[in-house]
């Protein structure tokens, strides 16, 4: 998700099976890495539990450069992450943009201060025993100045070379982190047009995912066996699970210690359907689900049956084949200014997604952009580290079966 909450989003959804047995401390030996790798798909999903996004922070930008306070949030602190953990979340997804922090070719060196800060924020959660996901977020948005991971750009050879070098550096930096660290290839990559996928753009997205898997696997340490998360077209469920061109990357360089019948690749999707309730900045559609009391305020589609059908689609296509699914983003914006009962339906929405995902063996990670009040996704006040939406958190916990 970008910082703009009023842009249209295709129907997305993801379920994740990810949990890894963690080894206390860090080790640089490949042997130790392989010992901790033996957690199967069901275990990784169970261990991840329900998750939370540190949105609008390390992916925030100004004039094409990453800047964690540029979109209105304060500097990330250990105290914030501790509050998220104390509220019951077991996984934190940290969206990251690189953009102008990447130097020129052929080495494409990432600014060391930026990479150090990314690692510091990762450590806030990782050192508390949480699962952590980091990705390449804003580099693929045409609407972000300096974006370069553009699937329909002409210079694909240069783009792919840059992509490989950047992920190589990230993988090297985190090679000694155990299986609680999950790397995610990119975010909502597509051609910017909300419709059916196009070629050769989808083929390039598949190629990016393959470069990501090959590069991470060959970079040493725990990377040979860690769980890797990849999306299809715009993290859209239909365009990922349907016959629209998504190809699961091959994993030829993974550790031989992983049983041949097990996977180490996860599939990422997002879920914001129906958009007129979940993300569109209006004062009309404020209620959701079968418990709605005013159906004129309820969308005509995208209710409980739709949640079930979308997650089942991912289950049938990927989970049954051993590929965990992660709903890397979901949530709904605050419209209590227009309807005082809105938070009740936001909580119902969160419960339904987490409960349905759990039923279909997927992990879920709530999108929090740090904005509270009108049209915000926030569950916490990041300035004073307090909970702002306890009802929603309670229903996330209930849905996840905590």
> How far is Cα 394 from Cα 370, in angstroms, rounded to an integer?
18
> How far is Cα 54 from Cα 256, in angstroms, rounded to an integer?
34
Q: Which of 68, 184, 188, 352 is catalytic?
A: 188
CB within 8 A of 356, min separation 6: which ones?
Answer: 307, 308, 311
Task: Give the phi and the psi of residue 329 in degrees, each rounded to 5.
Answer: -150, 140
Q: Is 329 considered catalytic here?
A: yes
Q: Which of 68, 280, 329, 352 is catalytic?
A: 329
Selection from 329, 24, 333 nearest residue 188 by Cα: 329
Q: Is 304 considered catalytic here?
A: no
Instruction: Give the catalytic positions in this structure.
Output: 188, 329
């Amino acid at each position: 998700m970008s910082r703009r909450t009023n842009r249209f989003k295709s129907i997305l959804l993801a379920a994740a099976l990810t949990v890894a047995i963690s080894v206390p401390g860090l080790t640089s030996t490949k042997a130790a890495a392989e010992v901790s790798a033996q957690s199967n798909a069901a275990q990784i999903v169970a261990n991840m539990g329900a998750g939370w996004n540190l949105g609008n922070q390390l992916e925030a930008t100004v004039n094409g450069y990453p800047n964690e306070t540029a979109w209105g949030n304060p500097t990330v602190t250990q105290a914030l992450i501790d509050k998220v953990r104390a509220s019951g979340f077991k996984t934190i997804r940290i969206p990251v943009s690189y953009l102008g922090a990447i130097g020129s070719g052929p080495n494409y060196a990432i600014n060391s201060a930026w990479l150090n800060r990314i690692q510091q924020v990762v450590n806030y959660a990782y050192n508390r025993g949480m699962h952590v996901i980091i990705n390449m977020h804003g580099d693929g948005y045409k609407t972000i100045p300096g974006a370069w991971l553009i699937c329909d750009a002409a210079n694909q050879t240069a783009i792919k070379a840059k992509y490989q070098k950047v992920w190589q550096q990230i993988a090297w930096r985190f090679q000694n982190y155990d299986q609680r660290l999950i790397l995610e290839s990119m975010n909502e990559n597509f051609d910017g047009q909300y419709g059916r996928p196009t070629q050769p753009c989808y083929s390039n997205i598949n190629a990016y995912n393959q470069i990501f898997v090959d590069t991470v696997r060959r970079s040493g340490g725990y990377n040979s066996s860690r769980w890797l998360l990849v999306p299809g077209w715009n993290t859209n469920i239909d365009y990922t699970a349907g016959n629209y061109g998504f190809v699961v990357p091959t994993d030829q360089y993974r550790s031989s210690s992983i049983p041949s019948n097990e996977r180490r690749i996860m599939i990422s999707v997002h879920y914001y359907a129906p958009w007129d309730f979940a993300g569109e900045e209006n004062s009309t559609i404020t209620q959701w689900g079968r418990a709605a009391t005013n159906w004129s305020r309820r969308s005509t589609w995208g209710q409980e049956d739709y949640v079930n059908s979308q997650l089942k689609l991912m289950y049938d296509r990927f989970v049954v084949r051993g590929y965990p699914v992660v709903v890397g983003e979901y949530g709904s914006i605050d419209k209590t200014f227009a309807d005082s009962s809105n938070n009740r339906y936001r909580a119902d929405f969160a419960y339904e997604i987490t409960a349905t995902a759990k039923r279909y063996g997927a992990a879920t990670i709530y999108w929090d952009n740090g904005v509270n009040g009108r049209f915000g996704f926030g569950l916490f006040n990041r300035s004073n580290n307090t909970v702002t939406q306890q009802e929603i958190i309670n229903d996330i916990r209930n849905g996840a079966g905590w």
